[in-house]
Every structure is written in C-alpha cells, then in structure tokens.
Amino acid sequence: MLTVEELNDRLIDLSFAEDIGDGDHTTLCCIPESEMGESKLLIKEEGIFAGLEIAKKVFHRFDPEMEVEAYIEDGAHVKPGDIVMSVKGKVQSLLQTERLMLNILQRMSGIATMTHKYQQALIDAGTKTRVLDTRKTTPGMRMLEKEAVKIGGGMNHRIGLFDMILLKDNHIDFCGGVHNAISRAKQYCKEKGKNLKIECEVRNWKELDEALAEGCDRIMFDNFTPEDTKKAVEIVADRCETESSGGITFDTMIPYAKAGVDFISFGALTHSVKGLDMSFKAAGSDKLVIKA
C-alpha cells in the first residue's frame, strides 16, 4: 500500500504533467532561464490557512533550489493582506508552480475554514459533538483534503475502504440484516488478523436493537430526526460511540448535537467547499508588507 507521502508525490507529478505537458511555452518564450525572482503568497479573504507543507513539496519537487520562507503556519486565522510565505528562485520555476500550489492551498484552506466554522458552532452551542468528514473527496486529493479537515479542527472518519469497516444499508441488505452483517465482519477480522473498528448504520429501532445486541464500536443513525436521535442516544447509553448522518447541514446540526451524539459527519466539508481567495505575486508588485 502506498504511503501518504507517495500518494501526494504522485498527485503532484500528475498535476504537473497535465498542466505543463511538453512545456510552459508562455513562460519559456519570454522569461530567460537564468532570470531570478521572488513571489509572495497574499491572502485576500478571511479564513483558516492550510497546506504549507504540501506547498513546500510542490516547489521543491519541481525545483529543489527554490527557497521558501514561511511567516504563517497551518491552522492560523488569516485575513486580507496577510502574507503567508515568500518564495525565491528561477522566475520560470515560480511561474510554472504557481497554479498548482494555489489550487491546492485554496482548496485546503477552504476546507479548513468550513470545518472550523462547523466545529466552533458546535462548541459555542455547548456540545461535545465532533465534526467528521466522509469519503466524498476529490479523486487523488483525499489525503490533502482530510488533512485540511484536521487543520480546521475536525476529525477524520475512515481514510478509505481499508482502515475501518462501515456497514451501510447496502451491505446490511445484501447480508440479510444487521445481525448477519456485524457477525460476518467480526469473523472476517478474526480470520484475517485485522484489528479494525466496526461501525454499523441503522435506519430504525429494530436495527438499533440488533446492532446493540451484536456489539460494535460505533452506531450511525441514518436520517433520524433530532428527537429520535436523542432517544437513540439514551438507548445506546454509552455502550458504543454514536454518529448522526444523512442530510444534516450547518443550519440543522445543532439539535442533533444537543441530542448527545459523539459525531456528526458532513460530506459538504469536502464536496461542496469554496476555495479561500489568495494570490501569488511578484515581490513588490502590490507593495506587499509582511505581517508576521
């Protein structure tokens, strides 16, 4: 299995391949190879910054001689006018790495900003419920997007299909019920020597009773009302973790959190996010001032 670093390296290589192709002819035709310069990353919208380390990797993977000086770290609250970093090197390298770096940082920062908004609202409401992401991520960018969720104060659900067992409605229906699904999952883990958490989705009170009787690490209440969620949490009585899912939004999440669930998962954190506005400008072009 590929490591996180290997997956990110492949993403960067593929991104350069699809963007540059056989050459950045705009840059090559007008910028001498020996020309040196400096650019600064300027924040243009308030939010939570995320992606510094992958930005450094983008620069250094393209041109190891590029020099990056950071002034703001991941997780910092940023506002228009803040400068995150300055980058020195060949102007050709600065221009060819600009778009990929911005695409990644804008998306990661947008995810971190949205996650922070959700998690802070749950805290302000006096709940202990944690925000979870899902597998509804951009193909190839899952590791970066899930890292952005953590930077924003949320928690990762499973990374993929390999690091947790999540028995959803289709698995349960194909197995013939919750009892069969959970028992088969436990037997599979035993036979394969896997120490995987088992989560089971339930759609009604019968399935909830079966899940509790069979035993699992977490129960997901699928499309329960806040009132039913409160009743379900009371029935579970801390015998396992609890999670709410299914059509819950920022505007509707507080009643679910106040019902006492441990987690609420939101696909919107990664599939419907707006990138944070920022730009990468030549030093001095906009009279930039570094704000430490």
Q: 56, 135, 168, 186: which one is catalytic?
A: 168
pLDDT in tens, 180-192: 999 999 999 999 9
Q: 61, 88, 99, 184: which one is catalytic?
A: 99
Average pLDDT over residues 41-69: 98
Q: 53, 222, 241, 277: which one is catalytic?
A: 222
Is pLDDT above 60 for 287?
no
Q: What is the reported pLDDT for 283?
A: 85
Please tell me the distance from the alpha carbon of residue 66 to that of residue 64, in angstroms, as a whole number.
6
201 is catalytic: yes
Confidence band of 61 (pLDDT split at 50, 70, 90): very high
CATH architecture of structural domain 118-271: Alpha-Beta Barrel (3.20)
Average pLDDT over residues 48-68: 98
99 is catalytic: yes
Please tell me the distance from the alpha carbon of residue 16 to that of residue 194, in angstroms, as a whole number.
37
Task: Find out whether 104 and 51 touch, Cβ atoms under 8 Å.
Answer: yes
- Closest by CA position to 9, among listed 144, 136, 108, 133: 144
The 10 Å CB-count burial string (b at 16+, else e) for 185-210 is bbeeeeeeeeebebbbbbbeeebbeb
User: Facing residues of 199 across strands?
Assistant: 166, 218
222 is catalytic: yes
Residue matched to tokens 């450094």: 56
Q: 56, 61, 88, 136: which one is catalytic?
A: 136
Q: What is the reported pLDDT for 118?
A: 98
Is pLDDT above 50 for 271?
yes
Q: Which long-range contacts (CB under 8 A, 24 or more apart) does 176-182 make?
A: 177/207, 177/210, 178/202, 178/207, 178/210, 178/211, 178/214, 179/210, 179/213, 179/214, 182/210, 182/211, 182/214, 182/215, 182/216
Q: What is the reported pLDDT for 277?
A: 98
User: Facing residues of 21 across strands?
Assistant: none
Is pLDDT above 50 for 201?
yes
Let me know how long the chain is: 292
pLDDT in tens, 68-80: 999 999 999 999 9
Q: 82, 145, 201, 262: which one is catalytic?
A: 201
Q: Where are the domains of the chain?
A: 4-114+274-282, 118-271
Q: What is the reported pLDDT for 156?
A: 98
Q: Residue 277, class by beta-carbon neighbours within 10 Å (0-12 exposed, 13-18 middle, 19+ buried)?
A: middle
Q: What is the fold of 4-114+274-282? A: Aldehyde Oxidoreductase; domain 3 (3.90.1170)
Please tell me the distance from the alpha carbon of residue 12 to that of residue 235, in angstroms, as a whole number.
48
Confidence band of 291 (pLDDT split at 50, 70, 90): very low
